[in-house]
Amino acid sequence: MSDLAVYDMDRTVTRHATYTPFLLHCATRRAPWRLLFLPVVILSMLAYVLSLIDRAKLKEINHHLLLGRTIHPRDLKPLVESFAEKQVATNIRPGARAAIARDRAEGRRLVLATASYRLYADAIAERLGFDDVIGTGSIIGLDDRVHAKIAGENCYGPAKLRMIDDWVEASGLKGAHGHVRFYSDHVSDRPAFEWADEPVAVNPHAKLRRLAIERRWAIEDWG
């Protein structure tokens, strides 16, 4: 029986969000002219704030604008690798490194569960020593190119718990895993917090802090 440690990524393991920085990293290095689309990117973010589009559509729009409608994996790989190296060098919370080391020493299976795209979350997770990644997928077309379309669900809120459940079943752990420790900074992960045996609110924002106090969940400051 395997105990699990499941981590959110953005602002939990990392200090700052990674999705927009990833797209800017790619645009700057591959096609700087795409930075001309930044005003449209800002408008799309405003549309999301006004609830005119959802988070999944926001991701697809910005992916299309800054990375392109399609990109071949061989062209994407060096961008992903350089971005992951930068994130691991500069954007990881000290407390996250300590927690990962502790959970690994306890023999837990380390799982990164993130709304970020797996196309770069995998590279960050590998460098940090995670065993598995659950994240937002990208459609790979018949042309073998990565498309600016999400495959399945955006791994956020209730969808994250559904995707964790799917991973548990696919991994043969349904009814067979042990104690689950779950870490996140955001109240949108409430379904996963409530599923876990040991919820840990990490550097929580105000809504999550209030909920954690009310539910008597652990609160940790990872710096």
Over residues 40-58, the mean pLDDT reads 96
Over residues 32-42, the mean pLDDT reads 97
Structure tokens at 191: 């379904």
Structure tokens at 28: 């700057």
The pLDDT of residue 79 is above 90 = yes
Q: Is the dihedral of CA 69, 70, 75, 77 positive or negative?
A: positive
Report pLDDT digits (tens) over 129-146.
999 999 999 999 888 999
The CATH number linked to 200 is 3.40.50.1000
Whole-number pLDDT of residue 56: 95
> Residue with structure tokens 């959970």?
103
Non-local (6+) Cβ contacts of 34 within 8 A are: 27, 65, 66, 67, 68
Instruction: Report how far residue 211's alpha carbon sits from residue 144's, in angstroms, rounded to the nearest whole number.
Output: 44
Whole-number pLDDT of residue 130: 98
Whole-number pLDDT of residue 2: 86
The total number of structural domains that make up the chain: 1
Q: Are β-strands 146-151 and 70-71 bridged in parallel, bridged antiparallel, or unpaired?
A: antiparallel
| Domain of residue 128, residue span | 2-220
Report pLDDT digits (tens) over 1-24.
789 999 999 999 999 999 999 999
- E strands present in the chain: 2-7, 70-71, 109-117, 132-140, 146-151, 177-184, 198-202, 218-220
Report pLDDT digits (tens) over 190-203.
999 999 999 999 99
% of residues, the chain, pLDDT over 90: 94
Whole-number pLDDT of residue 106: 96
The pLDDT of residue 175 is above 90 = no
pTM over 0.85: yes
> Residue with structure tokens 């061989």?
74
